[in-house]
Amino acid sequence: MQTLATQQQNYHLNPNLFFYLRDGEFIVWDYLNHQQWIVKSDYINALEQIAKGQSISISMTQDLLQSGMVSEHEFTDFQWGWDIVSKIYHLSSSNIFEDIQKSEDEFVEEYLATCEQLNQEEIQTVVCDYEFEACFDSRVDEVPLGEVFRKRKTTRNFDGSSIEYSDLGSLLYTACGEIHEVWEDLQQAGYTIESGRRSFPSGGGLYPMRYIVLALNVEGILPGVYEYIPRANGLKLLKPLDEHRVFDDLTDILNSQFFCKGLAAGVFFVPDFSKEWEKYPHSRSYRDVFLDIAHCSQNVLLTATAMRLRTWVTAAFKDEKLRHFLGITEAFTYPAEFIGIGHGSNHSLPKAFINGEALGQ
């Protein structure tokens, strides 16, 4: 007859469990299979014993087997090259949709009901300190698309010269603005239009992004932190900048990337995650936000290239310091990427790397 201890050696702990405390309760989350349990302390102790190959009571074993936290067979765990945080995010946002085939009528009814519920909010009118003329820069049309692709290159050598106010406006309008006057197919179908269509796609047409603009050396406007408002095609001043120390502050915030010095302007892409989860409450939509940023940031890079401006892109920064620097206090709103814009040499390496100073030579 097998003993309890001998039986215990056949049990395996699910490798996809995450443990956390919330409101005084111990939560076990199977992030692969999207299940959560409130677990009493004696079961937590039992899971620890199983992980160590020790025996537990038969009744506890049966409960844990039934939940899927424990199995008599070894779990399959695929190789993952990054850390556990990225693995949890990948698995927890995968395979979240129920395997149910809806009819066209069911899908349409459900989708329109969701949209109608979201449309109850009023869109507030924003007064901008500076407004742009809604037009494209003529230089963009002069450069063939293939040539723009070939010329697009990251620059880390900016010379500190200014850019014109009209150039900044043309860039923002082309890459981020509501360039289509009406959403014709929706309008003709009789739908209420709550957002303007832009030159890049957005999941669910939500455009959950704010564009925080640094005007560092832009002719015609004061150095400051602005927000670009697509609907008004204008800039709203959030806070002025001290031009004597701004690059020291910015270098620190951008994780010591000193080649930001000499930029004329820059755009921070700042998603408001709450706008996304209002329509799509599942975790998979976290991916959509970053896809939006990727689409729009590529627009900025290519448009700037066509306008003969230099660009540099980064996502390495000190998050809370940056929120404070930009004056962002709203919950669920976090900077995700930055594109620096200006004039300079066509070198991807900063001079300090070329002359050996940064290499200790």
What's the rounded Cα separation, in Å, for the pair 156 and 342? 10
Residue of 360, 167, 352, 123 lying closest to 265 (CA atoms): 167
In the numeric block, which tokens belong to residue 349? 């390496």
Q: Which residue has the higher pLDDT, 360 or 300?
A: 300
pLDDT in tens, 113-134: 877 776 666 667 788 999 998 8
Residues 265 and 199 in one domain: yes
The 10 Å Cβ neighbour count of residue 353 is 14
Residues 244 and 157 in one domain: yes
Residues 45 and 108 in one domain: no
- For residue 97, tell me if it sits in a domain: no
- For residue 121, tell me if it sits in a domain: yes
> Of 92, 125, 154, which one is at a domain's C-terminal end?
92
The predicted pLDDT at position 123 comes to 63
Residue of 249, 270, 289 lying closest to 333 (CA atoms): 270
Full domain range(s) for residue 25: 4-92
- The mean per-residue pLDDT over the stretch 22-34 comes to 94
- For residue 317, tell me if it sits in a domain: yes
Residues 174 and 52 in one domain: no
Is residue 1 very low, low, confident or very high in pLDDT (cuts 50, 70, 90)? very low
The predicted pLDDT at position 120 comes to 60
> Of 69, 92, 115, which one is at a domain's C-terminal end?
92
In the numeric block, which tokens belong to residue 42? 């004696």
Look at residue 299 and tell me whether its pLDDT is greater than 80.
yes
Look at residue 354 and tell me whether its pLDDT is greater than 90.
no
In the numeric block, which tokens belong to residue 21? 């405390």
CATH number at residue 301: 3.40.109.10
Rg (CA), the chain: 26
Residues 87 and 121 in one domain: no
The predicted pLDDT at position 7 comes to 45
- For residue 316, tell me if it sits in a domain: yes
- For residue 98, tell me if it sits in a domain: no
Residues 180 and 274 in one domain: yes
What's the rounded Cα separation, in Å, for the pair 3 and 25? 34
Is residue 147 very low, low, confident or very high in pLDDT (cuts 50, 70, 90)? very high
Percent of the chain's residues with pLDDT above 90: 61
What's the rounded Cα separation, in Å, for the pair 265 and 161? 10
Burial of 115 (0-12, 13-18, 19+ CB in 10 A): middle
Cα separations (Å) of 313 from 23, 234, 274, 310?
41, 23, 25, 10
Q: Which residue has the higher pLDDT, 99 or 314?
A: 314
**How many separate domains does the chain show?**
2
Please enumerate in sequence order all residues whose Cβ is within 8 A of that of 227, keeping only pairs 6 or more positions apart, or say none: 210, 211, 212, 213, 235, 236, 238
Strand ranges inside the chain, DSSP E: 12-13, 17-22, 25-30, 35-38, 70-71, 130-131, 163-164, 209-215, 218-219, 224-229, 234-240, 265-271, 310-314, 337-342
- For residue 212, tell me if it sits in a domain: yes
Please enumerate in sequence order all residues whose Cβ is within 8 A of that of 262, keeping only pairs 6 or more positions apart, or say none: 157, 158, 159, 160, 342, 344
Residues 140 and 83 in one domain: no
- For residue 102, which phi and psi values (nearest 5 degrees)? -90, 150
What's the rounded Cα separation, in Å, for the pair 285 and 216? 34
Look at residue 358 and tell me whether its pLDDT is greater than 50.
no
For the chain, report the end-to-end CA distance as a whole number of angstroms: 73
The predicted pLDDT at position 349 comes to 87
Residues 253 and 126 in one domain: yes
Residues 184 and 247 in one domain: yes
Helix crossing, 58-67 with 41-51: angle to 10°? 90
Residues 305 and 193 in one domain: yes
The predicted pLDDT at position 239 comes to 95
Q: What is the 3-state secondary structure (H, E, C) of 86-155?
A: HHHHHHHCCCCCCCCCCCHHHHHHHHHHHHHHHCCCCCCCCCCCEECCCCCCHHHHHCCHHHHHHHCCEC
What value does the mean pLDDT of the chain take? 88
Residues 82 and 116 in one domain: no
Look at residue 112 and tell me whether its pLDDT is greater than 90.
no
- For residue 99, tell me if it sits in a domain: no
pLDDT in tens, 271-297: 999 988 888 888 888 899 999 999 999
Task: Let me know: does 91 contact 84? Beta carbons within 8 Å.
Answer: no
Look at residue 4 and tell me whether its pLDDT is greater than 80.
no
